[in-house]
Amino acid sequence: MKSHRTQTVALFFGVLTWTVPAVAQNATKPAEINAPKPAETNAPKPADTSQDFLVGLRRIGVMAGQAVECSPDTEKQGKIAEAMDLANQIAIHFGLKAAFNYVGAVGYGSGHPFDKAGCAQSIAGWKDVLARYSSK
């Protein structure tokens, strides 16, 4: 009788060692129970930014950077603030990729040497952009 009990216990533990890993692989982890499904996420999706759109943002950014450089020293901080306000609006409406392209171009426009004879055109173009797209 004792050998029969030993065989039954050995069989039980043998089956247990085979089934526990299989059950553990199929079990739902606690973090997965309440995790949102990919379709349920509420994060806004950025707009589809085409290459032409990004190139346009870069051109506006270069113009903004040149307008900063063409401004008197007393007005530069205000011009930078205007450029950053537009960057915030771009990030909200078109995503970070578009805002990054714009801000990088602002830095390029203000740091790259350019013909200062075009300052009047850059400032006028920048004022036009602000009049159309600024949130103020």
The average pLDDT across 70-85 equals 92
User: In a 10 Å sphere around its CB, with 0-12 CB exposed, 13-18 middle and 19+ buried, how is residue 129 labelled?
Assistant: middle
Check residue 69 and give its pLDDT. 93
66 neighbors 119 (Cβ within 8 angstroms): yes
Question: Taking 60 as the threshold, does the pLDDT of residue 125 lie above it?
Answer: yes
Q: What is the DSSP string of 40-97?
A: G--PPPPP---HHHHHHHHHHHHHHHHHHHHS-TTTHHHHHHHHHHHHHHHHHHH-HH
**Does residue 1 carry a pLDDT above 60?**
no
Q: Which pLDDT value is given to residue 13? A: 47
